[in-house]
Amino acid sequence: MLFDRPGGIAADRDNTACAMSRRVFLKTGVAAAGGLMLGFGFPALLGEAAAEAPDSFSPNAFIRIGTDGSVTLTMPYVEMGQGAYTSISMLIAEELEVGMSQVRLEHAPPNEKLYGNPVLGGIQATGNSNAIRAAWGPLRQAGATARVMLIAAAAQRWRVEPSSCHAERGKVVHSASARRIKYGDLAGAAARLPIPEKVALKRPEEFKLIGTPAKRLDAPSKVNGTAVYGIDVRPLGVKIATLAQSPVFGGRLKSVDDTAAKAIKGVRQIVQLDDAVAVVADHMGAAKKGLAALSIEWDNGPNATLSTDDIARDLEKGTLHPGAVAQNVGDVVKAMAAAVSKVDSIYRVPFLAHATMEPMNCTVEVRKDSCEVWVGNQAIARAQATAAKTTGLPLDKVVVHNHLIGGGFGRRLEIDGITRAVQIAMHVEGPVKVVWTREEDIQHDMYRPYFFDRISAGLDRAGMPVAWTHRFAGSSILARWLPPAFNNGLDGDTTDGAIHRLYDLPNVRVEYLRMEPPGIPTAFWRSVGPSHNVFVVESFMDELAAIAKKDPVDYRRVLLEKAPRAKAVLELVAEKANWGQPLPQGSGRGVSTQFVFGTYMAHVAEVEVSKEGGVRVRRVVCALDCGSIVNPDTVRAQVQGAVIFGISAALYGEITLKDGRVEQTNFNTYQVLRMNEAPTIEVHLIQNTEPPGGMGEPGTSAIVPAVTNAIFAATGKRLRKLPVDPAELKHA
């Protein structure tokens, strides 16, 4: 196997490296089983200097063209529902001139050196809506290079000019002599050719696949029950465990009486750890019954009395002090003093759980000199590293099998569950599958942080903003997850969506204070930084429009004169949503505009508020410009899903702490949107040939303020704290 040794293709013979463009490099060689192997690298955002030195270049993705004509792509992204595998296959197939069915994708085995995701600073992970953004250039380059080399190999064999040949459907064709050869028969010869200096990529008008709604490759197995998620693995002799972790974060296990549990049929073993206890059984039914029969005493530790109010109060106090300056334009102090009027608001967003449909789980077998892990995870090299560290085994003795992911949303960028499963497995003979109950999954998540925001604007005589200040406090995920990305008190994620990139504001100051809450872990959550900032900025923009007595769409449009792509999506959404047309009493429309993850997006939400204060989102219209569209159907699906995810958070999402414990337990107390509450969702795409923007996340951040702005339009109540509280909206 090629990947058994570090370095892989880079160490193969016949290697030559050359720069395809400033930031894309390729290496070729003969594949282990014959055929052409092409290794290439995704450009780096962090550590860019290293990536630009060809000598130190080692590829992080590989295309293998077998002697049977098969095309296999090994790469670092995981499929977690976002359709990445299908879109990525389209990029390769387009330039290589093969059918989608010929392309096979392999999960990359863990190896941070080879597969580190450049947009995530070299971490092997899928997240930040970046799979297509990172793959767009390099994958097409690599596909085109392989095509040119296969054509060259055929031309050499036929002794004709390469320019007289072309590629189609996995073959090289010489039209003049009506000869054709399959890629598989050329792969070996192509591998010995030098890499061409330059290859021309197709022009957008030549695309056959890109821009068409290709069928998802993973769908058939997901409708007949054969798809294998991490929770479905069944290594021979596997036992099932479930666990209780200290309900207060930072607490310890004091004592366990397991007499009753051990008497339950199918219960095999009770494992006690410093801060958790697990019941190992023949099946989950017995494990759960055993867990319920345990009598556990906890030492609650330092966070025993912690509540969400304590955390909120600390953040509120924190924002009385200046933070790190994320954006400073003009002179806000002077402009604020000269303003005709001033508006000040305070906004708050809560902790949120991910509640992926597949509860946390991980299967592990720890042997004397090795360890095997079966899991679905977005950061697979970290999974391997924590298993090695926890067991004390060298990295190369840990094998990780990655699987389909039953919902990521940021949760599976973390490896806490893998560490825990390995700790348990170290006490168990043979493989053990550790499955979190839903309660344990919700109460021991790592949460979207709570944020406290102070925001102010100075207005001119016409009611337009001449000064804008925004200061907010909360946790920085990147400071923990990727420390080099946190500098001078700032990181690119936490402030994303707060820094103005659209509105033409003459004087702006945005400040962030990193304040880590005690007693509750935080993590990335779908739409990350923008998930809180866009709510604040777009709600406040709506407040300003209302104060100026101007239409919210018109007000924004005036400020978007220098952002034509944003203005275009705003105008399109207004037109499609019948903006300005009357609605019945108790109903209203709200708008939002944003530019995050490289995508321009505007939403209009239409809501209905009952006398009891119940909110029903009836209709959502979205217009977006994400540059080049690889798979338009996937883009629509991602918006539809992201909108539902955002409405769930806006209407219901809230994790609270009382006595140091998470109060929510399951889908009855941590509610999410259901079929009977789902709005109609219309998605309008603006087509162009700009580089692609991310699509997995922006729909979530954009919908939240559209909903609360619609509630304002319907009721006159401005909501500055999430989730929506029906008690605030009750009216006679």
Partner 1 sequence: MDITIKVNGAEHKVDVDGDTPLLWVLRDVLGMTGTKFGCGLALCGACTVHVNGVATRSCVTPVESVGNSEVTTIEAIGRTSSGREIQRAWLDLEVVQCGYCQSGQIMSAVALLASNLHPSDSDIDAAMSGNICRCGTYVRIREAIKHAATSSAATG
Q: Which of 521, 472, 439, 497 is nearest to 720 (CA)?
A: 472
DSSP states along 66-92: -TTS-EEEEES---SSS-HHHHHHHHH
Contact 279, 287 (CB under 8 A): yes
Our finding on whether 684 is near partner 1 (CB under 8 A) is: no
- The neighbouring-strand residues paired with 343 are 457
Select 59 or 407, whichever has its Cβ closest to partner 1. Answer: 407
Our finding on whether 562 is near partner 1 (CB under 8 A) is: no
DSSP state of 301: G
DSSP states along 271-282: EE-SSEEEEEES
Contact 442, 558 (CB under 8 A): no
Contact 678, 618 (CB under 8 A): no
Expressed in angstroms, the distance from the first to the final Cα of the chain is 72
State the nearest-atom distance from the C-beta of 591 to partner 1, in Å: 21
Q: How many binding residues for partner 1 (CB under 8 A)?
A: 67
Contact 602, 585 (CB under 8 A): no
Interface of this chain with partner 1, residues 249 to 278, rule: CB under 8 A: 264-266
**Options 33, 337, 357, 462; binder of partner 1; rule CB under 8 A:** 357
* Spatial distance between the Cα atoms of 496 and 289, rounded to a whole number of angstroms: 45
Our finding on whether 232 is near partner 1 (CB under 8 A) is: yes
- The neighbouring-strand residues paired with 345 are 455
Our finding on whether 408 is near partner 1 (CB under 8 A) is: yes
Our finding on whether 637 is near partner 1 (CB under 8 A) is: yes
**Options 45, 228, 329, 399; binder of partner 1; rule CB under 8 A:** 228
* Spatial distance between the Cα atoms of 363 and 235, rounded to a whole number of angstroms: 9
For residue 542, CA distances in Å to 166, 705, 707 come to: 56, 9, 12
**Options 11, 176, 219, 333; binder of partner 1; rule CB under 8 A:** 219
Our finding on whether 463 is near partner 1 (CB under 8 A) is: no
State the nearest-atom distance from the C-beta of 80 to partner 1, in Å: 6
- Which alpha helices (DSSP H) does 126-241 contain, by range? 131-158, 183-191, 219-223
State the nearest-atom distance from the C-beta of 414 to partner 1, in Å: 17
**Options 17, 240, 373, 485; binder of partner 1; rule CB under 8 A:** 240
State the nearest-atom distance from the C-beta of 645 to partner 1, in Å: 6
Our finding on whether 353 is near partner 1 (CB under 8 A) is: no
Both structure tokens of 639: 């918006």
Angle of helix 380-391 versus helix 416-425 axis, rounded to 10 = 40
Select 95 or 232, whichever has its Cβ closest to partner 1. Answer: 232
Both structure tokens of 65: 């063209």
Our finding on whether 313 is near partner 1 (CB under 8 A) is: no
**Options 192, 427, 438, 616; binder of partner 1; rule CB under 8 A:** 438
DSSP states along 40-69: E-PPPSTTHHHHT-GGG---SEEEEE-TTS
Both structure tokens of 306: 């912690």
Our finding on whether 610 is near partner 1 (CB under 8 A) is: no
State the nearest-atom distance from the C-beta of 541 to partner 1, in Å: 26
Our finding on whether 231 is near partner 1 (CB under 8 A) is: yes
Select 49 or 223, whichever has its Cβ closest to partner 1. Answer: 223
**Options 216, 444, 470, 532; binder of partner 1; rule CB under 8 A:** 216
**Options 285, 463, 492, 726; binder of partner 1; rule CB under 8 A:** 285
**Options 112, 358, 414, 538; binder of partner 1; rule CB under 8 A:** 358
Our finding on whether 551 is near partner 1 (CB under 8 A) is: no
Residue carrying the six token digits 């707060």: 498
Please choose, out of 137-145, 163-171, 216-224, 386-394, the segment that lies near partner 1 by the rule CB under 8 A. 216-224
Our finding on whether 212 is near partner 1 (CB under 8 A) is: no
Per-position x/- string for 49-88, each x denoting binding to partner 1 as judged by CB under 8 A, each - no binding: -------------------------------xxxx-----
- The alpha carbons of the chain give a radius of gyration, in whole angstroms, of 27
Contact 117, 126 (CB under 8 A): yes
Per-position x/- string for 658-677, each x denoting binding to partner 1 as judged by CB under 8 A, each - no binding: --------xxx---xxxxxx
State the nearest-atom distance from the C-beta of 675 to partner 1, in Å: 4
CB under 8 Å to 332, separation ≥6 — which residues? Answer: 458, 467, 468, 469, 507, 508, 509
* Spatial distance between the Cα atoms of 708 and 722, rounded to a whole number of angstroms: 9
Our finding on whether 547 is near partner 1 (CB under 8 A) is: no
CB under 8 Å to 456, separation ≥6 — which residues? Answer: 336, 342, 343, 344, 345, 467, 468, 469, 470
The SS3 call for residue 379 is coil
State the nearest-atom distance from the C-beta of 213 to partner 1, in Å: 8
Rule CB under 8 A: which residues touch partner 1? 80-83, 213, 215-216, 218-229, 231-232, 234, 240, 264-266, 282-286, 288-289, 355-359, 404-409, 435, 437-438, 633, 637, 640-645, 666-668, 672-678, 680-681
